[in-house]
Amino acid sequence: MFIEVLLALVIGGLVYFLVPKSRSQVLKTDDGWWGVGAPPHGGEDITIHPFKVTTSDEELEDLHRRIDQSRPVPSLEDSQFNYGFNSHYLQKVVSYWRNDFDWRRQVDKLNQYPHFKINIEGINVHYVHVKPKKVPEGTTAIPLIMVHGWPGSFYEFYGLIPLLTEPSDPDDHVFEVVCPSIPGYGFSEAPHKKGFDSVCAARIFHKLMKHLGFQQFYAHGGDWGWLVTTNMAQLEPGTVKGLHVNFAPPSKPTLPVVLSIMLGRCFPKIFGFTDMDIQNLFPPMEKLVVESIKESGYMHIQATKPDTVGRGLNDSPVGLAAYILEKFSTWTSRDFRNLEDGGLTRKFSLDDLLTNVMIYWTSGCIVSSMRFYKENFGKGFNQPHSKIQVFVPTGFACFPNELMHTPHLWVKQKYHKLLSFTTMARGGHFAAMEEPHLMADDIQKFTKIVEKKKK
């Protein structure tokens, strides 16, 4: 006990003297132009246009023809999902897609919520905007922007939206929800120039929310959505009332983080580590290295040469489905690699999974979505936003099967006003889609904390 106390005093002293004192810095950015050619002399047309997802016989015939002409490849015996998407099971998915999947019905499902487009910085930005049908007397709906990641889309939030706009508990807040597509994803136009990164997306989404009349709002994000909404909080901390994320890898190795890695296994209580933290942070070194190699190949490709592999995926619906759906298997649970079907339908329906694939296929956005990795990683790991703490009230939902585990101490290093840290009972990387009820509950819990503090 004496040794732990002494060590705590030493570490505390190091932290006090070596860690720079927190300063409420604001991220700086300049307006961009991502359209073709030079900006028009007359300025931007910021008219909001209604948008509907559509399809046609020609689109479906082309899809079916390409599926019919795909060339199956046999899987290795006893390989499950350890070599990627199991080819034997892929044939079953493709058969369902070709013969039973009803895209027209899913288009109607997509259109159950109002869609819009607005031109910002030269590109048409798509978003879903859902206003609550009923707001309790004496209250107002709370505006919330929710941002997706890769290889997801705005559709990830379709199970979550009604839980937030029409909550069953009368004590819950009622939200007005905006779900944009990151430019280059889904039905948002892709940038036509190099350099469009997370900060650019954050700036555009701030402009979007201002055009919609919101002077303040909450933000939620996972995967790339975590970084985009974090950048939004860094750009305009007075505009983002609260930030809720379910993914928060450390962007900069601060002294407390380094010390916790070095000493956390031996002295977990000093760093506030739980059993879950120890289990996830300190596996054998061999396992840590092997797992990183197994699950990061896509990132190396997309952060360096996205157009090469992307062109092939853009031509082949079967290749596209395999590439995207393999992530919905492994990123939901690494144990699913050992299953013949990848555990895909244990957490999701094939209709929902294929709807997400179809958003990529029909919009032809796979290449531009992959470029987002190059634009972000290509600028190095020492970007201005990585050095700036977030001083907006923050809530973190820690799902057990997330790609990277981030303990409370690590999250706190970036998010100075961490008001809520919830260890979730279950769920993986696509948590909003996999566990919408758990996510809705945590967003409600966090928002109530912030609103109570403001009152």
Q: How far apart are CA 178 and CA 132, in angstroms?
A: 11
Q: How far apart are CA 6 and CA 2, in angstroms?
A: 6
Alpha helices in 35-159 (DSSP H): 57-68, 87-99, 103-110
CATH superfamily placement of domain 51-454: Alpha/Beta hydrolase fold, catalytic domain (3.40.50.1820)
Q: What pLDDT sits at residue 283?
A: 83
* The one-letter amino acid at 67: I
> In this structure, what token pair is assigned to residue 11?
């570490």
Please list, residue by residue across 33-48, b when 16 or more beta carbons sit within 10 angstroms of its beta carbon and e when fewer do: bbbeeeeeeeebeeee
Q: How far apart are CA 231 and CA 280, in angstroms?
A: 27
Give the start-end residues of each E strand in 273-372: none
> In this structure, what token pair is assigned to residue 81?
């999902």
CB 401 within 8 A of CB 332: yes
Q: Where are the domains of the chain?
A: 51-454
Q: How far apart are CA 149 and CA 3, in angstroms?
A: 45
Q: What pLDDT sits at residue 17?
A: 36
Neighbours of 28 (CB within 10 A): 11
CB 87 within 8 A of CB 72: yes
* Catalytically annotated residue among 89, 158, 373, 415: 373
Alpha helices in 112-223 (DSSP H): 161-165, 198-211
Q: How far apart are CA 106 and CA 110, in angstroms?
A: 6
Residues facing 124 on adjacent strands: 119
Of 191, 187, 198, the residue nearest 225 (C-alpha): 198
Q: What pLDDT sits at residue 41?
A: 82
Of 142, 141, 114, the residue nearest 128 (C-alpha): 114
Evaluate the omega torsion of the peptide bond into residue 317 and state whether it is cis, within 30 degrees of 0. Answer: no
Q: What pLDDT sits at residue 24?
A: 67
Q: Is 223 a catalytic residue?
A: yes
**Stretches in the chain below the pLDDT threshold 50:** 1-11, 13-22
Q: How far apart are CA 352 and CA 110, in angstroms?
A: 11
The sign of the dihedral angle between the CA atoms of 342, 348, 354, 356 is negative
Task: Output the average pLDDT for the chain.
Answer: 92
> In this structure, what token pair is assigned to residue 272?
């506030």
Chain centroid, CA 115 distance in Å: 20
Of 169, 166, 178, 189, the residue nearest 129 (C-alpha): 178
Q: How far apart are CA 216 and CA 242, in angstroms?
A: 9
Count Cα neighbours of 181 within 13 Å in the Cβ-side half-sphere: 33
* The one-letter amino acid at 432: A
> In this structure, what token pair is assigned to residue 260?
């916790």
* Catalytically annotated residue among 223, 277, 352, 441: 223
CB 29 within 8 A of CB 203: yes
Of 169, 172, 161, the residue nearest 132 (C-alpha): 161
* Catalytically annotated residue among 323, 429, 441, 442: 429
Q: What pLDDT sits at residue 358?
A: 98
Q: Is 429 a catalytic residue?
A: yes
